[in-house]
Amino acid sequence: MVQYRPGQRVPKSGIYRVVHDQAHIEAHDVTAVIGERFPPCHRCGQHPRFMLERAAHHLDTHPAFTRHATE
C-alpha cells in the first residue's frame, strides 16, 4: 500500500488511514481533499503516514453536483 508523508499533496480525495508514533495515539481515519497537503502531527511531527482506504469525489467535483448538471 502506498504511504504518503506530511507535506506531500493529496493525490485523490477520500478517506485515509493515519498511522502515528503509536506512543501517543492509535491509528485513525481522516478525510482529505485532492491537492491539499497532508499535515504534520502536533505531537509526533513528520512521523504520520497516510494510506488511502477509499477514494471518493469531493462534493464540489462530483458530476451530479456541479453547476453544469442543473443547466
- 12-70 pLDDT per residue, tens: 999 999 999 877 899 999 999 999 999 999 999 999 999 999 999 888 888 888 765 44
Question: Whole-prediction pTM value?
Answer: 0.84
Quote the pLDDT of residue 6.
Answer: 98
Instruction: Tell me the three state secondary structure of residue 52.
Output: strand
63 grid coordinates? 458530476
Q: Where are the domains of the chain?
A: 14-70
Quote the pLDDT of residue 5.
Answer: 98
CA distance 3 to 41: 16
- Residue 34: closest CA among 7, 52, 51, 58: 58
